[in-house]
Copies of this chain bind each other. A is one copy, B any other.
């Protein structure tokens, strides 16, 4: 089954939250497994969207205990590895959708591109070679099919 990573900041405004929710929903409808960082903001929103559409969400969190994850994850991988968990999300994903995002998201996009993975970004704050910028959840999900 396809595994798509959704990355973005743990804190976000309403607009990005709604965007991430929609991305999660669309991925679930395709029956893709959604992999994300398991925390708040974009991660929570995409997980919630996927769950509401009957999808399966795996949160790969930086902490030692599953308790730190948001409640929309079906399963939680507790890495106890801080930012290094970003690399695990990259390796575990067939393609990545980035939504907004700060430094952590940049680090994930950079490693994903280095690994030759397709990275589709909605509203990226940064331009990177081979990064595919789109402006809607629909286009983002279409690009990772």
Contact = CB atoms under 8 A, between A and B. Distances in A.
Interface of A: 1, 3, 33, 35, 56, 58, 60, 64-66, 74-84, 87-88, 90-92, 94, 102-104, 106-108, 110-111, 113-115, 126, 128
A88 B78 contact: yes
Given A1-B74, A103-B113, A81 B83 contact: no
Nearest to A82: B80
Contacts of A66: 3, 91-92, 94
Contacts of A113: 103
Chain A interface secondary structure, helix, strand, loop or mixed? mixed
A60 B114 CA distance: 19
A106 B102 contact: no
A88 B77 contact: yes
A12 to B, nearest CB: 16
A90 B103 CA distance: 13
A92 B76 contact: yes
Given A78-B91, A103-B110, 14 more contacts: A35-B75, A60-B77, A64-B115, A65-B91, A66-B92, A77-B88, A81-B82, A81-B84, A81-B87, A84-B88, A103-B111, A104-B111, A106-B128, A107-B110
